[in-house]
Amino acid sequence: MAVYDLEEQEQLEDLKAWWKQWGNLVTGVIIAVAAGIVAVQGWRWWQGNQAEQASVLYNAVSTAVKANDVAKAKDAIAQLNEKFGNTGYAPRAALLVAKTLFDTGDKAGAKTQLMFVIDRGSEEELKAIARLRLAEVQFDEKQYDDALRTLDAKHDEPFAGVYADLRGDILMAAGRSNEARAAYQTALTKFDTNSPYHAYVETKLDAAGGPLAGPSGAPNASGSGTTQAPPNAPPAGAPANPPTPAAAPAKAPAPSK
């Protein structure tokens, strides 16, 4: 028994020596890991809480827009943009309010909401939609150069057709018919030949004088397209006036966590 006690005493002394040398470091590591876990869990809770509150304000915006209550819509979007502008709900709500403001004649307010999406949004698809609608508002105000500059911004390929189509409308209104025809021809190459939007753009191209000939012209307008027409495309023969900004989806997905 004395031998075992001696061995245990030696082990205990070794452990004490090791702890004296490394104990502070081990304690620090344990505390750091625990603090990290608490911080991560706290961040997740905070994000979830932010998303929940943002969704309440988004629903308030959506309800006000459906009821055409501009005052309530403006109040809710102001709170949403100020408090939860970095969530996925804010840009979607701003698109909804922009359309309502445009429809009620408040074009300056509509542009403010669209600029919020462009400046603060993190999703390129929403930013591309906002730029398209901003260009439509600028077109409606006969700010042709500003509208063309807005359309010059980089955008994903699925938007190439509608961007080129709107560019053609603006150029036609500005009296630059050859450039407009080239833009319409470009738009036609981006839409499926069987889509209603293709026929719609082709009608406008024919009304503008038909396809340009020679190297300055785009590929044959009747060539096969590469992308489908966007949802709610206007039917063939519809007027060439620019559409007003369309509503964003009624429900916005929760922001990524």
d(CA 164, CA 174): 15
- pLDDT category, 128, cuts 50, 70, 90? very high
Task: State the average pLDDT for the chain.
Answer: 80
Give the domain ranges of the chain: 30-122, 143-245
CA distances from 131 to 86, 139, 160, 174, 227 (A): 19, 12, 12, 20, 20
pLDDT of the residue at 191: 93
Looking at residues 45-62, what average pLDDT do you find?
79
pLDDT at 255 over 80: no
Q: For 106-155, give the DSSP string.
A: -HHHHHHHHHHHHHH---HHHHHHHHHHHHHHHHHTT-HHHHHHHHTS--
Structure-block tokens of residue 252? 């916005």
pLDDT of the residue at 245: 37
pLDDT of the residue at 52: 83
pLDDT of the residue at 16: 73
pLDDT at 257 over 80: no
| CA angle 41–46–47, rounded 5-degree value | 100
Q: pLDDT tens across 216-240, in order?
A: 444 444 443 334 444 443 333 333 3
Looking at residues 21-31, what average pLDDT do you find?
70
Looking at residues 171-189, what average pLDDT do you find?
96
pLDDT at 43 over 70: no
pLDDT at 125 over 90: yes
Structure-block tokens of residue 66? 């459906």
Looking at residues 145-173, what average pLDDT do you find?
96
pTM listed for this prediction: 0.68
pLDDT at 153 over 90: yes
Looking at residues 88-95, what average pLDDT do you find?
94
pLDDT of the residue at 241: 41
CA distances from 121 to 102, 131, 171, 211 (A): 20, 12, 29, 38
CA distances from 201 to 43, 99, 186, 209 (A): 49, 24, 10, 13
Looking at residues 170-188, what average pLDDT do you find?
96
Structure-block tokens of residue 122? 């993190």
| CA angle 138–139–142, rounded 5-degree value | 90
Structure-block tokens of residue 116? 């919020």
3 or 138, which is more confident: 138
Burial level of 123, CB count in 10 A (0-12/13-18/19+)?
Answer: middle
